[in-house]
Amino acid sequence: MKTITDLQGSFELHNGVRMPYLGLGTYQADNDEEVVHAVKYALKMGYRHIDTAALYNNEEGVGRGILESNVDREAVFVVSKVWNTDQGYDNTLKAFEASLKRLNLEYLDLYLIHWPVVEKYKDTWRAFETLYKEKRVRAIGVSNFLRHHLEDLMKDTEVNPMVNQMEFHPHLVQQELIDYCDTNGIQYEAWSPFMQGKLFQLDITADLEKKYNKSAAQIVLRWNLQKGVVTIPKSVHENRIKSNAEVFDFELSEQELAYLDSFDKGKRNGPDPDNFSF
């Protein structure tokens, strides 16, 4: 089991770069004072990992929040993603420059292929390798790649992916994929850890909430971290950003981790990586 210490703790990627294991997600956060304030507040709270994407249309606001936080740029792990319509070698290089400009940054800490667009993701990855060699980005990875996508990609890579960001929650554990990523030095990362809010309609964490005096969100985030999964819960509300970070004063047992694993139904709330059309 990986060691979990505090909000600024991190996991080491296979190239030696350290990635904070709890971050702020910004999906559906508006590109105005909403996302600016969320980022500034999270950084003030001690978060050091901010996740965005070209698709989110809020990179400018994320960049403003980082700049106005007065936290040193080098201390913040900034992630963005190339969108599907921008994939391919030349388009990806252009998309990267556009993201950097919107973020008002000189480099990214992690750049991800947002979805495995067939017949494009290998050329996209070659562009990622170029950016990595040029030190424009400290780490490169993928999102929504299943095992067969990873195997196909890595047949032709010079640099293997460092991260795979996947939908991950108690109804979609995909333990075999986690194990495959671990074996191949690919850090697993969760998006939608709260099942797009559906977690809070379930009763699966009630006993654990009472035992540890924690919320359902805090129980599930702790489960993420103890499974060695980086997690990026999204919120624009100060109280939730704060409470999502209050997961370092308790520890789930092996039996409790297995209990949460047992709710796996292979059930997605988001699109299927093998069947999407965007």
The residues annotated with a catalytic role in the active site are 56
Instruction: Determine the distance from the C-alpha atom of residue 17 to the mean position of all C-alpha atoms in its chain, rounded to a whole number.
Output: 15
Question: What is the rounded distance in angstroms from the CA atom of residue 204 to the CA atom of residue 272?
Answer: 25
Burial class (CB in 10 A: 0-12, 13-18, 19+), 56: buried
Residues 233, 199, 81: CA angle, nearest 5 degrees: 30
Q: Which long-range contacts (CB under 8 A, 24 or more apart) does 179-182 make?
A: 180/147, 180/150, 181/150, 182/228
Taking 3-state DSSP, the helix, strand and coil percentages for the chain, each rounded to the nearest 5, stand at: 40, 15, 40
